[in-house]
Structure 1
């Protein structure tokens, strides 16, 4: 399942960039907003947060909105069938919340030009009624890397990768760069789970890292299984909530989290249908836009480390710091970013290399 961006696209814009399509001439009295989820709502991570965003829409507009959703929809032919049923069932706007829904979204959109389609983490907008949206998760990884670099006792930190695609690779690089910045002795181990949501595989990946001596784990998968494995070490291993806050582990290994806050975007887009201002768009927001939140940093983190991490978060939000600021070399030692230069979005969206200092290869 490849729900995240596989290739750079020059059309991917910054923030909420209008990319054509006339605004609706008139608003609507009521909107039926529909959501297609790749996993179960109870995954505790990715799908949980998308559904929380849907509920924020209901809370914002009350009886002006009717919600419909379907969980655990496979990417492929099943997705096209579900989308067609939703469009025939009167959905005015359909949010497809996984990268692998991209082709199905555009195919069904072509058949239902009066229905609005919003695709998460994709780049294709082949139809004027298709918009795309994403989040700058790498910004949160910078904050986590800072905590990891300061907190590790073994100088070995780990990362559970889902699939070797640019979104994940840029997260790994950001995590490592910021850990290395505060702890030059740090080493990073990466284990690929090849899944978005499979608690057993995620637990196995965490075990593999722990067996290597890793004592701080970040995960780019959707369940709480890596934190559950860390909890078995009686405080020897810490980790982070991924996609949602994963508060059930706050009194254990979870020292902070990246929270995907889709609610404001969903509220904005449904609101635009209601008031008649809806236009085709492409959004890529981060900490500044409120789509990436840093969950509470717990008391397990020393006060000075917490302050350092929060200062980094605030600098990213203010636009005074970019997580990919040179000098940065690629893994092979070749120059990538010069002193003071920041990474263009196109480089990030197509990132297919590790930065200097990370060992191991990116699977092809």
Structure 2
């Protein structure tokens, strides 16, 4: 009798464990903007969809869009953890502290934060090396500008944005020493009205190429209307400005999301700081305009291939800041620590840094 009781107990234990093994891995995503922004959040959601397509019923994904950076983010991340999500991706710099706090509360969950620098045993960070794409953008902008004035619509003065501004300017100056880069700060990631106003303000100042670090196609649409050039952000924005479109810097998150989730499934995931750029396929240059001359196109292509091969390092020294202080020595390349804490403009920039 005891024997059969033991078998019954074992069966009760085995069956739920087997059922548990069949359950899908639950993966949550937190977006700072709407998935229809056609930029940053849109591309992260494309990565989520690719994750679902790759794993099928082995994963169950959910997302929350339009999440404000701050207390709202912390509440959202905690709700996803409480809802049983095993892996949570938080996709904006301003989610960093909230992600770190919730990760500490849920040590059995895996958290990944985009563009930040705080890590823990169950919290990793990841980044697309957008400054490589900006370096290509700066090259193309420097080649096509006729006014020698390039405009940059910037979101917030965080290291990611500042190093992308610098990369754009350094590349443009390399092919056109007379270039000036004008910057307008809009204090938002996604606000089509503000972005359009910023684009028009820059064009009113003589800018004929717009680069943006915001997420809507508003700047592209404004440039198309006024016969100027614009660079697409995060996704291919060529259809918003067929004439204006110079190129788009596309963030492809799918490979990272698929690899990371597979590692979690396999039990091999470890916290790290992952940077993926052109060589890794995380940054792609899309729909380069056929309005470029053969010589201009060849130059842009050579920069792309140079970055891919490692021959071109956008942050290779010597690099001086606006005040003439040497920041990166000749023969050296800026470290990740220098890049992730960048709060200065390079020499030659005339714009001022906001407080």
TM-score over 0.5 for the pair: yes
Deviations 1:239-270 (A, max 9, x none): 11101111323522112111111111100111
- Greater share of helix residues, 1 or 2? 2
Residue 164 of structure 1 pairs with residue 157 of structure 2: yes
The residue aligned with 1:121 is 115
Superposition pairs for residues 210-359 of structure 1, below 5 Å?
A: 210-233=203-226, 235=227, 237-249=228-240, 251-359=242-350
Structure 1 residue 329: Cα displacement: 2.1
Task: Quickly say closer, same or farther: Cα 1:29–1:331, change in 2 above 3 A.
Answer: same
Residue 67 of structure 1 pairs with residue 61 of structure 2: yes
Q: Taking CA–CA contacts closer than 8 Å with sequence separation of 6 or more, which of the two structures ends up with the larger relative contact order?
A: 1
Task: Quickly say closer, same or farther: Cα 1:215–1:278, change in 2 above 3 A.
Answer: same
- Partners of 1:207 and 1:85 in 2: how far apart? 41
**Which has the greater radius of gyration?**
2
Structure 1 residue 28: Cα displacement: 7.6
Superposition pairs for residues 93-104 of structure 1, below 5 Å?
A: 93-104=87-98
Give the secondary-structure state (helix, strand or coil) at the position aligned to 1:294: strand
Q: Over aligned residue pairs, what C-alpha RMSD do you find?
A: 1.7
Number of residue equivalences: 336
Deviations 1:253-307 (A, max 9, x none): 1121111111111001111122222222221221112211111212022222112
Deviations 1:8-63 (A, max 9, x none): xxxxxxxxxxxxxxxxxxx8862111111111000110100000000110111111
The residue aligned with 1:15 is none
8 Å CA contact 2:224, 2:242 repeated in 1:
no
Residue 33 of structure 1 pairs with residue 24 of structure 2: no
Task: Quickly say closer, same or farther: Cα 1:106–1:341, change in 2 above 3 A.
Answer: closer
- Partners of 1:272 and 1:28 in 2: how far apart? 17
Give the secondary-structure state (helix, strand or coil) at the position aligned to 2:307: helix
Matching residue within 66, 82, 85 for 2:79:
85
- Partners of 1:116 and 1:334 in 2: how far apart? 41
Give the secondary-structure state (helix, strand or coil) at the position aligned to 1:232: helix
Give the secondary-structure state (helix, strand or coil) at the position aligned to 1:264: helix
Task: Quickly say closer, same or farther: Cα 1:28–1:97, change in 2 above 3 A.
Answer: farther
8 Å CA contact 2:86, 2:109 repeated in 1:
yes
Which runs of 5 or more residues in structure 2 are unaligned? 1-20
8 Å CA contact 2:220, 2:240 repeated in 1:
yes
Superposition pairs for residues 126-141 of structure 1, below 5 Å?
A: 127-141=120-134
Structure 1 residue 323: Cα displacement: 0.6
- Partners of 1:42 and 1:272 in 2: how far apart? 29
- With normalisation by structure 2, the TM-score equals 0.91
Which runs of 5 or more residues in structure 1 are unaligned? 1-26
- Partners of 1:124 and 1:97 in 2: how far apart? 14
The residue aligned with 1:145 is 138
- Partners of 1:31 and 1:45 in 2: how far apart? 27
The residue aligned with 1:179 is 172
Structure 1 residue 77: Cα displacement: 1.9
Give the secondary-structure state (helix, strand or coil) at the position aligned to 2:36: helix
